[in-house]
Structure 1
């Protein structure tokens, strides 16, 4: 019989945590910027190879909200890691930065190696897809704080930009064209409302096949947040973007104003892009007003770009060369009433 130490008897398995780190280490790709390996006290990233005259570090931190409850309930944990990376990295890219490295924090009740490995493999795969280093992280066992298979996730991303090319509201001008890059679905926002509508008010189950979606709710709701860095980097390098808004919590109504001067407004034509079936379903089942939808969900747009008219042809050519779908969703005009106006929608 193997004797447990005092910490293990309290519900914390140090050996299991070390095994998870060892397994993750096997899948890491060596990057010349990274000094040392996972498992040290802190990650080290060498900036000496970056040839910038006025470098600025751009950082962001975020989580995935109550979407973790659905991931835990379904046991489908392979996509939630990409959600975490995307929520942080898309914010950093929206400031005009190139993501450098990422750190994660995962808190669980009891460390189940398979569960943790699935989450962290998703984190690692997303980092590698965006050519950034997974520099470190923390996996914490917290029995008494979390129960059963519940867990929480948070992340921290750091990027690098040239000071004079950071995206700021002053760059956006009247007449700029608004391009929308499509979302993959709900991304990682509004899930408290989603859970209330679908599971509390209408008694759906995650395994239900919902006709308008043509897939199970589990597959729809756990579709990972789209990553935009690799799409935007060529445009940023050519200084073709005047402003970029990552459409997260608060939707178009709260996020687009962040990229606008006080004298300008963004006018959107909702007929310019398709409403994804999940948003139609939630709107109908929840009896949601247009304002409810546009200030809670991304409504099919994960990133909105403001482009000077003279740069539009070059931007479209680049997106087409990447085979990246996009929509011309509106324009920037002098402000008359509010920062965001959606055609045909009376904001209540």
Structure 2
């Protein structure tokens, strides 16, 4: 090998990893904080913690799977993100709910299989690691995991200078659950005359924010905090209520209403059947979006959740009692429509019934 110095080392200045924009010490401080938070939390307050053999800090996490209540145990896996809602969070320093958004986007999908939540991992990417920002996001994730019966077993924090500008960030989540193969929910259970019951959303959840930021661009530019806080209401976690209704009702399928709105319903309807859905009164902020965009009602229903975050498919004979039960539990719920045999005229994924 030549002893000649390369041109990159001819200058007296030596560049460290930190000089390039990656602060390893800040990353270590963040990991230390995570460990201190784990120690300060009672084990019994962490769902499934007793089954975690090795969690945060190792190269991988180990989980002792308890299958005694599952005759044919199947693992359920899903991943998702928060989309461009992170832009508003960063611009307005509103991180308290963004972790719940992340957990909810994953675990609500997991519920649609009939599965029970087990584990969660997160990925956080930033331009420069700001400990306070990262702590707020992770605190929100941890809180949502506890509310969702998820053990937070690991994650990754990536400092990526040149990719994200401060305080920009992105995040992704990964959830694992378990379901008995013979008790899974889905299109294979759905029958002609089944009814669709909608459970209300908490707001826009985590979808449509590229549109919303344009629709409300003036208010956002003028720092209208009241509106921004409405836009930032975190995605509802449906774990508790879905667990309760699964125990009491013959649920056939669940559809998490995310991007594409009601287009998510056909994902749990057999090809020989079709969902027929009637419009409902949208919450006021959704109505304002429709007014400003001039989207038709069906276009709105195929774009945003319009006030419905989860759709339950079940036998007609149980629909009324389900709605009554949900209302007693403090949920707003109503009949959206029904499932019927598909005819040659039913060419769309779902039928809009005015």
- Return the TM-score normalized by structure 2: 0.88
User: Does 1:195 pair with 2:213?
Assistant: yes
Aligned to 1:229: 239
Equivalent of residue 268 in structure 1, options 277, 298, 302: 277
- Say if 1:61 and 1:154, in contact at 8 Å, map to a contact too: yes
RMSD value, Cα: 2.0
Counterpart Cα distance in 1 of 2:302 and 2:234: 20
Q: CA deviation at 1:267?
A: 1.7
Aligned to 2:9: none
User: Does 1:335 pair with 2:342?
Assistant: yes
Equivalent of residue 296 in structure 1, options 293, 299, 303: 303
Map of 1:162-311 to 2, 5 A cutoff? 162-199=180-217, 202=218, 204-205=220-221, 207-208=223-224, 216-237=226-247, 240-252=250-262, 254-271=263-280, 274-311=281-318
Aligned to 2:63: 45
Q: CA deviation at 1:51?
A: 2.7
Q: Which sits farther off after the overlay, 315-324 or 237-246?
A: 315-324
Local SS of the residue matching 1:8? coil
User: Does 1:55 pair with 2:73?
Assistant: yes
Counterpart Cα distance in 1 of 2:55 and 2:219: 47
- Return the TM-score normalized by structure 1: 0.89
Q: CA deviation at 1:133?
A: 0.4
Q: CA deviation at 1:316?
A: 4.1
Aligned to 1:213: none
Change (3 A) 1:263 1:60: same
Counterpart Cα distance in 1 of 2:324 and 2:301: 29
Unaligned runs of 5+ in 1: 210-215
Q: CA deviation at 1:205?
A: 3.0
Map of 1:10-89 to 2, 5 A cutoff? 10-28=20-38, 29=41, 30=43, 31-48=49-66, 50-89=68-107
Q: Any idea what the Cα deviations from partners look like across 1:233-277, whole Å, max 9, x if unmatched?
A: 13334562101000011110x200001011211122223xx3111
Change (3 A) 1:146 1:256: same
Unaligned runs of 5+ in 2: 1-13, 44-48
Equivalent of residue 128 in structure 1, options 123, 146, 150: 146
Q: Which sits farther off after the overlay, 166-175 or 14-23?
A: 14-23
- Say if 2:197 and 2:323, in contact at 8 Å, map to a contact too: no
Counterpart Cα distance in 2 of 1:224 and 1:95: 23
Equivalent of residue 319 in structure 1, options 322, 326, 329: 326
Length, aligned pairs only:
330
Change (3 A) 1:196 1:50: farther
Q: CA deviation at 1:343?
A: 2.3
Q: Any idea what the Cα deviations from partners look like across 1:138-175, whole Å, max 9, x if unmatched?
A: 01100011112100010100110000111120211111
- Say if 2:193 and 2:315, in contact at 8 Å, map to a contact too: yes
Local SS of the residue matching 1:227? coil
Q: Any idea what the Cα deviations from partners look like across 1:206-232, whole Å, max 9, x if unmatched?
A: 6326xxxxxx12111111000111111
Larger radius of gyration: 2
Counterpart Cα distance in 2 of 1:26 and 1:50: 33
Map of 1:86-105 to 2, 5 A cutoff? 86-105=104-123
Q: CA deviation at 1:177?
A: 1.5
Counterpart Cα distance in 1 of 2:111 and 2:222: 33
Local SS of the residue matching 2:50? coil
